[in-house]
Amino acid sequence: MQLSANNTINKQSGGVSLATALILLLCTSLVVIYAAKQAVLEQAITGNQYRYFSAFAQAEAGLNQALAAYKNNSNDTPCELNNKASWSNQPFCAQISQQTVNGQAIAKINAKASSDDKTANIDLHQSIGFSPWLVNSQPAAALIVAGSVNAETALQIAVNPNGGGIGVPVSIWSRDAINFNSSSNRCQAVDLDNLNCSNPLTSDLDLVQNVGANFPDLFAYLFGYASNQANWLKEKAKLISPDQCQTLNQAAGLYWVEGNGSCVIDQAGQSDQLDTNTFDPQLVVLVLNNVPLQLKADSQIVGYVLMFGDQSPQQISVENNASILGGLFSNQDLSIHQGNSLKLVWSDYSAILDHPNSPTNGAIGLLAGGWRDF
């Protein structure tokens, strides 16, 4: 009886061990199967992500290529977004459409792309806008100074015929007093071009001076940024040092000049004549941050110059017969000395600065909320 009981116990114990082993094997198998499925799933997810990012990168390349083409005013080979056969063996296609919203030129870029294995597709959209460098592309006068003007050099100024309102001409607009050489003259641009500028610049004619506290923030007046927000404009400009000023003869666009030394100009921008009605000039907008300006003999600037910073007075030295075709501005007292003549020709460049197909004379930027991936 004792032996029989032990055999029964041993059989029951063996059965429990076998059942436990089978359960453990089943659990292990389930874990292995689950892990295998997870590995396959993760591999599939990784593959999908790779294909998505591959297509996304190609679509972004299409957006960037289209944006570069728009900035350079060039036309790439057209492609049809929904016809991959027309994509010229590229993995993407991008097209630009233009429209005007509230007076601002808007361009919309649509780019489509596929992954390398053609199994993933992306559709990206980006809106971009054009805005001119200057808010007031028709400044009120050829010489505007947020301080006093002391001009030892004889000035020859082509007036803005409507600077103070329709039919109200303005030669110089300043916050404080204007002191100028008695040989200074004012006239219309055509007379200056014909060397017939002989109307004396008198203290009671065409001069708006001693405006005082009512004078605007000149930086904001020109660019739309307050003077304490100048870095916003600086970020958009081409940054150069003063010794690079003599390389601007073929230049166009916005330049921020900063550093030690004087900005010496032979030629900045391009123009064949003074009459802005008969030529399409290549314009520069120069912002000199506490940098003196030196105009060499027979030098010419086509565009606008802002003497900006905390140094007062801002300094301009003239050799002989220098010209600024556009406007000269200073946010501090301004001193113009040396030389026998400085021509300041008020010019209306609004048609050029406001034109969306002249990106070298304006800013092209991505519009907030203008990007989507569907």
State both tokens at 26: 């089943």
The answer to whether 112 and 91 are in contact (CB under 8 A) is no
Task: Dihedral sign for Cα 62, 63, 68, 72, please.
Answer: positive
The domains of the chain are located at: 1-133+356-374, 143-353
What letter would DSSP give residue 95? E
pLDDT at position 13 is: 58
Contact in structure between 248 and 264 (CB atoms under 8 Å)? no
Neighbour tally for 217: CB within 10 Å? 15
Mean pLDDT over all residues of the chain? 82
Supply the pLDDT for residue 78. 75
State phi, psi for 330 to the nearest 5 degrees: -145, 135
Lowest mean per-residue pLDDT among 163-167, 264-268, 315-319: 163-167
Q: What is the pTM of this model?
A: 0.68
Q: What phi and psi values does residue 44 have, to the nearest 5 degrees?
A: -65, -45
pLDDT on residue 327 = 92
Separation of alpha carbons 63 and 318, rounded Å: 47
Range in 9-18, 78-87, 111-120, 304-313 with the lowest mean pLDDT: 9-18
* DSSP structural state of residue 212: G
Q: What is the distance between the alpha carbons of residues 255 and 249, in angstroms, rounded to a whole number? A: 13
Q: Nearest 10 degrees: CA dihedral of 207, 210, 211, 216?
A: 90
Q: Give the model confidence (pLDDT) of 104-162 as tens digits.
A: 667 888 989 888 777 888 898 888 877 777 777 788 899 999 999 999 999 999 888 88
Cα(330)–Cα(312) distance, integer angstroms: 10
